[in-house]
Chains A and B, each alone.
Chain A
Amino acid sequence: MKEFGYHRASTVDDAVALLDREPGARVLGGGTNLVDLMKSGVEEPSLLVDVRELPLDLIEPTGNGGLRIGATVANSDLAAHPEVRRRWPALAQALLAGASGQVRNMATVGGNLLQRTRCAYFANPAMPCNKRVPGSGCAARGGEHRNHAVLGWSEHCVATHPSDMAVALTAFDAVVTVATPAGETDIPLSDFYLPVGRTPHRETVLPAAALITAVTLPGLPVAARSRYRKVRERASFAFAIGSVAAAVEIADGQVRDARLAFGAVASRPWRARSAERALIGSPAVPETFAAAADAELSAAKTLPDNGYKVALIRELTVATLSELTRETSR
Chain B
Amino acid sequence: MIRVEGRAKVTGAARYAADAAARGHAHGALVPATIARGRVVSIDDDAALALPGVLAVLHHGNAPRLAEVAGRLGPDASTRVLQSDRVPHTGWPVALVVAETAEQARAAADALVVTYAREQHDVAFTADHPGHYTPERVFPYEPAVTVVGDVDAELAAAPVVVDETYTTPAEHHAPMEPHAATAHWRDGRLDVVDSNQGAFVIAGDLAGLFALDPAAVRVRAEHVGGGFGGKAVTGAHVLLAVLATLRLGRPVRVVLDRAQVFALTGYRPATVQRLRLGADPDGRLRAVDHDSATATSTLHEYVEGTGAGTRVLYAADALRISHRVTRLDVPTPRMMRAPGKAPGSFALESAMDELAHRCGVDPVALRLRNEPAAGPVTGWPFSSRNLAACFTEGTRRFGWDGRDPRPGVRRDGRWLVGTGTAAAVFPALSVPATAAATAEADGTVTIRVGATDLGTGARTALTLLAAEALGLPVDRVRVLIGDSDFGRAPLAGGSWGTSSWGAAVVKAATRLRETLAEPIPAGGITVVGDTAADLGAPAERHRLAFGAQFAEAAVDVATGEVRVRRLLGVFAVGRVVNPTAARGQLVGGMTMGLSQALHEEALWDRTLGTQVNADLAGYHIATNADVPVIEADWVDDPDPEMPGGIKGLGEIGIVGTAAAIANAVWHATGVRHRHLPIRPDRVLLAKPNELV
Tell me the chain A residues, 1-50 only, with Cβ under 8 Å from chain B.
1, 41
Interface residues of B in 595-609 (CB under 8 A from A): 598-599, 603-608
A95 within 8 A of B: no
Let me know if A139 is at the binding interface, CB within 8 A.
Answer: yes
Q: Nearest CB to that of A237 among chain B residues?
A: B623
Closest beta carbon of chain A to B554's beta carbon, Å? 12
A198 at the interface (CB under 8 A from B): no
Given A120-B613, A231-B560, A143 and B607 touching (CB < 8 A)?
yes
Is A65 interfacial (CB 8 A cutoff)? no
Q: Is the CB of B617 within 8 A of A118?
A: yes
- Confirm or deny: B633 has a beta carbon within 8 angstroms of a beta carbon on chain A: no
A231 to B606, CA, bound (A): 27
Contact B680 A312 (CB under 8 A): yes
Q: Is A233 an interface residue (CB 8 A)?
A: yes
CB-CB nearest in chain B for A128 = B608
- Smallest distance from the beta carbon of A44 to chain B beta carbons, Å? 11
Residues of A within 8 A of B681 (CB): 146, 241, 305, 308, 312
Decide yes or no whether B260 CB sits under 8 A from chain A.
Answer: no
Indicate whether A238 reaches chain B with its CB closer than 8 angstroms: yes
Contact assessment for B680 and A241 in the assembled complex, using a CB-CB cutoff below 8 Å: yes
Judge whether A285 is part of the interface by a CB distance below 8 angstroms.
no
Task: Specify which of B107, B559, B606 lies most central, judged by the most chain A CB atoms within 10 Å of its CB.
Answer: B559
Chain B interface residue count, Cβ-Cβ cutoff 8 angstroms: 35
Q: Specify the chain B residue showing the minimal Cβ separation from A118.
A: B617
A233 to B599, CA, bound (A): 7
Chain A residues with CB below 8 A from B613, complex form: 120, 144
Name the residue among A41, A139, A234 with the largest chain B CB count within 10 angstroms: A234
Which A residues lie within 8 Å of B599 (CB)?
233-234
Interface membership of A316, Cβ < 8 A: yes
Choose from B110, B607, B622 the contact partner of A139 (Cβ within 8 Å).
Answer: B607
Least distance between B179 CB and chain A CB atoms (Å): 19
B625 near A235: Cβ-Cβ < 8 Å:
yes
Contacts of B624 in A (CB 8 A): 236
Contacts of B322 in A (CB 8 A): none
A154 to chain B, nearest CB (A): 20
Interface centre among B34, B598, B605, B613 (most CB of A within 10 A): B605
Q: Mask for A312-328, Cβ within 8 A of B = 1, else 0?
A: 10011011000000000
Q: Size band of the A side of the interface?
A: 20 to 34
Q: How far is the CA of A144 from the CA of B560 in the complex (A)?
A: 20
B residues 640-657 near A (Cβ < 8 Å) are: none
Task: Pick the contact of A143: B605, B617, B680 (CB < 8 A).
Answer: B605
Residues in chain A near residue B132, CB distance under 8 A: none
Kindly report which residue of chain A lies nearest to residue B257, judged by CB atoms. Answer: A39
Which listed residue (A127, A232, A316, A318) contacts B608, Cβ 8 A? A127
Return B210 CB to nearest CB of chain A, in Å. Answer: 32
**Is A311 interfacial (CB 8 A cutoff)?**
yes
A231 touches B680 (CB 8 A): yes
| A205 interfacial contact with B, CB 8 Å | no
Contacts of B414 in A (CB 8 A): 319
A142 part of interface (Cβ distance < 8 Å): yes
Are A238's CB and B608's CB within 8 A?
no
Q: Which of B286-331 contact A (CB under 8 A)?
A: none
Interface check B685, CB cutoff 8 A: yes
Residues of B within 8 A of A182 (CB): none
* Known A144-B603, A233-B599, A319-B414; contact A308-B560, beta-carbon cutoff 8 A: yes
Determine whether the beta carbon of B608 is less than 8 Å from that of A308. Answer: no
CB distance from A302 to the nearest CB of B (A): 12
Given A241-B681, A312-B684, also A231-B620 (CB < 8 A):
no
Smallest beta-carbon distance A325→chain B, Å:
15
The one of B106, B110, B559 in contact with A312, judged by C-beta atoms closer than 8 angstroms, is B559
19 sampled A-B residue pairs with Cβ under 8 A: A1-B103, A41-B110, A126-B34, A127-B605, A139-B605, A139-B607, A144-B604, A232-B680, A234-B598, A234-B626, A235-B563, A235-B623, A235-B626, A238-B620, A241-B681, A305-B681, A308-B680, A308-B684, A312-B684
Knowing that A236-B623, A312-B681 touch, tell me 10 more A-B residue pairs with CB under 8 angstroms: A127-B605, A143-B612, A231-B680, A232-B680, A235-B563, A236-B626, A237-B625, A238-B620, A315-B558, A319-B414
Q: Which 7 A-B pairs have the closest CB atoms?
A: A236-B625, A235-B625, A308-B681, A315-B558, A120-B612, A236-B623, A143-B605
